Amino acid sequence: MVKIRSKNGATILIALLFFLLCAVAGTLVLAAGTSASGRVSGLATQEQSYYSVTSAARVIMSETDGQTIDMYTVGSSQDVKYFSEPDSELKSVLETASEAIFSGDQTYADTLTIKMEDDSINSTMGTVTGKLAMDSRYNIEITLSSDAKNSYKCRVVIPAAIQDNRDGAQIKMVDEDGNETTRTETKLIWSGAEIEKVN
């Protein structure tokens, strides 16, 4: 008796096995690619947050560097008047904070929102907010972050110098009617700002 041995089925079986291996390898490559693209997307968001926040920090540094306030009050009045005022975009914030400390508060806190004039840039870069704190020596700290998920955070530290020995200096004045009043003066200058990363 002679057995007939055909090899036609073996070729189909090898081809199916090869196809199965290719399908498994393709699935693994596709899964790895999807995972990597998710990481790259997250990286892009983190980089965008980093550049938004650090750019805002540099703007604040340039806006506050060398800014001066020379202010005074007369008598018991808490109404602050100015010999000189800051010429910065942050003018109103610097004045409000300085007036609060000058009038006797130990600290001052506020929240800043930093946006570009172009709304399309804001929608791309996100909104940066800053938590401002001024201490009793007029030193400023602003902690910045963006509205992005897992936002990069940094702090701008802006030291203040009180010049001309005018910290609480009181000057006796006599008005036209012979009444004696006291003028209290303080002159401030901010410079030497630094950016620190916040963990």
The confidence score (pLDDT) of residue 169 equals 77
In a domain, 21, yes or no: no
User: What pTM, to 2 d.p., does this model score?
Assistant: 0.71
| CA 193 and chain centroid, separation | 14
Report if residue 25 sits inside a domain. Answer: no
Q: Which residue do the tokens 């081809």 mark? A: 15
pLDDT of residue 26: 82
**3-state secondary structure at position 182:** strand
* 78 in a structural domain: yes
Confidence (pLDDT) at 111? 94
Tens-level pLDDT at each residue, the chain (199 residues): 555 565 555 677 777 777 788 888 888 877 777 765 555 455 556 788 888 899 889 989 999 999 999 988 888 777 888 988 888 888 999 999 999 998 889 999 999 988 766 666 556 667 889 999 999 999 999 999 988 777 889 999 999 998 866 666 778 888 788 888 888 888 999 999 999 998 7
129 in a structural domain: yes
Specify if 149 maps to a domain: yes
| Per-residue model confidence (pLDDT) at position 2 | 55
Q: Residue 196, SS3? A: strand
What range does the domain containing 116 cover? 45-197
Provide the domain count of the chain: 1
The pLDDT value recorded for residue 69 is 93
Residue 78: phi, psi to the nearest 5?
-95, 10
DSSP conformational letter for 12 = H
Residue 16 lies inside a defined structural domain of this protein: no
The helix/strand/coil state of 45 is: helix
Q: Is residue 12 part of a domain?
A: no
DSSP state of 178: S
Question: Where do we find the tokens 């800014």?
Answer: 67
| Contacts of the segment 168-171: beta carbons below 8 A, 24+ positions apart | none
What secondary structure does DSSP assign to 70-129, as a single string? Answer: EEEEETT----EEEE---STTHHHHHHHHHHHHTT-S-EEEEEEE--S-HHHHHHH--EE
Is 133 in a helix, a strand, or coil?
Answer: strand
Q: Is residue 36 part of a domain?
A: no
